[in-house]
């Protein structure tokens, strides 16, 4: 069973449903596996032949989160999805994609389940002040100026990690919704959002992002702390988040000036996040 509330996914059913949405979606390969070390790592290793390829796992044993840390991926009805596509876009254009993916994913999920999702720069999904998902984007240079881009998306659908172990509030979609949430519908919403953004020209992605990000900006107007580096060489600044710049950086009002940050830990009390600068090979 796939789209009736079951938490087991079928690649063929997802592919048939996705196919009617666009030419890219119709041509996409959708693969579902029971268990894998990391969906992102698998697609990066097969990047040359993995164009327009979705890989979804029911469980990951070595999922990767921010700063290379482990992304907890138990076999409990959550979404662990990666997508690879080939492009000749500039890295600066590709760097906007995780932000744009986040906006479209949040809209897609909210339209289906009325879950008011917000976005914490640069790559986290929040539900009622608690983290429920995140993204990781990686790139790999191919021949003839081509680049493979792999975006990984993890969403807590049926369960969430232990808050005490993570040191931050977490939640899952099901805990905030009275009606059963089908993993199939969440996967389809994420896949639809990704293919939509990939079909748009870079200029339209940028314009769409700048119009929509502020509506879901978890940090906007909040006092934040940005920490960069560690130990004696580390720096910490405090200011007020002003939203994102056109190139995707985080704008911070430091009182006497405004600076744009592209890397570092951004914290808001107990809520923190690390900038996801695209990783390359």
Over 50: is that where the pLDDT of 276 sits?
A: no
What are the Cα distances from residue 135, in Å, to 81, 231, 236, 263, 273?
10, 27, 25, 15, 11
CA distance 79 to 158: 9
Output the pLDDT for position 274: 53
Q: Tokens standing for 27?
A: 């041509």
Q: What mean pLDDT value characterizes the chain?
A: 88
pLDDT for residue 6 is more than 70: no
Tell me how long the chain is.
281
Domains, the chain, ranges and CATH? 11-216 (3.30.930.10), 223-273 (2.30.30)
Checking phi first, is residue 230 left (phi over 0); if not, alpha (psi -120 to 50) or beta? beta
Query: Looking at residue 170, what DSSP letter applies?
Result: B
At residue 75 the predicted structure's pLDDT band, cuts being 50, 70 and 90, is: low
pLDDT tens digit string along 181-233?
A: 999 999 999 999 999 999 999 999 999 999 999 999 999 999 999 988 777 77
Structure tokens at 206: 């940028």
The token duo for 98 is 């995780």
Give the C-alpha separation, 180 to 117, whole Å: 18
Give the residue among 44, 96, 48, 81 at the shortest CA–CA distance from 201: 96
Whether 238 contacts 31, CB under 8 Å: no
What three-state secondary structure class fits 157?
coil
280 confidence band (pLDDT: 50, 70, 90) = very low
pLDDT, tens only, 7-31:
689 999 999 999 999 999 999 999 9
Q: Which residues pair with 273 in a beta bridge?
A: 266
Contacts (Cβ under 8 Å, ≥6 apart) of 116: 110, 127, 128
Asked whether 157 and 79 are in contact (CB, 8 A), the reply is: yes
68: which 2 tokens? Answer: 């290379």
Q: What is the percent of the chain with per-residue pLDDT over 70, rounded to a whole number?
A: 86
| 126-158 tens-digit pLDDT | 999 999 999 999 999 999 999 999 999 999 999
d(CA 218, CA 183): 25
161 pLDDT tier (thresholds 50, 70, 90):
confident
* SS3 category, 226: strand
Token output for 155: 């969403």
């Amino acid at each position: 069973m796939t789209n009736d509330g079951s938490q087991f996914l079928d690649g063929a059913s997802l592919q048939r449903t996705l196919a009617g949405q666009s030419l890219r979606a119709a041509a996409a390969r959708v693969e579902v596996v029971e268990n894998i070390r990391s969906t992102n790592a698998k697609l990066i290793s097969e990047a040359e032949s993995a164009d327009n390829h979705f890989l979804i796992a029911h469980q990951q044993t070595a999922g990767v989160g921010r700063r290379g840390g482990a992304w907890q991926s138990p076999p409990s009805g959550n979404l662990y999805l990666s997508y690879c596509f080939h492009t000749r876009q500039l890295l600066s254009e590709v760097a906007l994609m995780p932000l744009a993916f986040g906006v479209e994913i949040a809209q897609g999920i909210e339209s289906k389940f009325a879950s008011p999702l917000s976005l914490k720069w640069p790559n986290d999904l929040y539900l009622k002040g608690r983290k429920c998902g995140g993204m990781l984007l990686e790139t790999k240079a191919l021949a003839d100026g081509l680049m493979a881009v792999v975006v990984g998306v993890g969403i807590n659908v049926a369960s969430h990690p232990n808050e005490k172990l993570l040191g931050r509030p977490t939640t899952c979609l099901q805990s905030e919704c009275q009606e059963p949430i089908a993993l199939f519908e969440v996967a389809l919403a994420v896949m639809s959002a990704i293919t939509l953004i990939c079909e748009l020209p870079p200029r339209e992605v940028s314009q769409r992002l700048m119009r929509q990000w502020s509506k879901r900006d978890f940090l906007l107007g909040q006092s934040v702390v940005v920490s960069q580096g560690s130990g004696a060489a580390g720096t910490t600044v405090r200011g007020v988040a002003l939203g994102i710049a056109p190139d995707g950086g985080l704008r911070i009002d430091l009182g006497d000036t405004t600076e744009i940050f592209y890397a570092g830990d951004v914290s808001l009390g107990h809520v923190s996040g690390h900038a996801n600068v695209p990783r390359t090979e």
